[in-house]
A = this chain, B = another copy of it.
Amino acid sequence: MDKSRVAAFTDAVVAIIMTIMVLEFKTPETYNWSGILDEGTYFFAYAISFLFILVAWYNHHYMFALAPRITKRIFWINNAWLFSMSIIPVSTAWVGKFMMNKAPEYFYLIIFLFWSLAYESLTKEIIKASKASGHKEIAKKIASMPPYRLLNSWRSLILYAVVLVMIQYFPPMGLLVTLAELLYMAFHTTDDSDQIA
């Protein structure tokens, strides 16, 4: 498929998902500072999800820049990845409203997990397609992306198990650990990750 058109369509969807989350800020009913300070918890969840989507985009950009061709299979796994991200505004709104409660924190993690699986599948499919068309060097580069290696390892499973327990005692650990994981993924990238166009 036309790689630039698929990337542009993907980018439009991602940009909209990221930006419509701002609609969840309700205009304060009062002109006192308390009006805006009440939005504090949603602001915290909003900032984390904003970071989430940008980290996802950065890695998507890298993979798509390298991918030799967008096959029908890659297109549909890319769509599943978009679908999982399209639920982020829902989970963000809920956890931003009830940050100290278990169900919203678990739900936020479930969407994160769903996104991780879609991202892993997308990466694997692009690696497979690269190998199939003889681009072994590209397959190797994509397979060495730190976020992919993290999500595709026992480390992330253990992390999930630990977080699931921690939420029982202090629910906001769901968001906090997600934030830590996102910062890790934002900083740890392959050296050439911003040198490919």
Contact = CB atoms under 8 A, between A and B. Distances in A.
Interface of A: 1-3, 5-9, 11-20, 22-25, 27-28, 31-33, 35-36, 39, 47, 50, 54, 57-58, 61, 65, 70-72, 75-76, 79, 83, 86-87, 89-90, 93-94, 97-98, 101-104, 107, 186, 189, 193-197
Contact of A19 (B20, B27, B70, B186): B20
The DSSP consensus for interface residues of chain A is helix
A23 to B, nearest CB: 7
List the number of copies, as a whole number: 4
A25 B107 CA distance: 14
B7 A5 contact: yes
B17 A22 contact: yes
Nearest to A193: B72
A89 B101 CA distance: 28
Contacts of A83: 47, 50
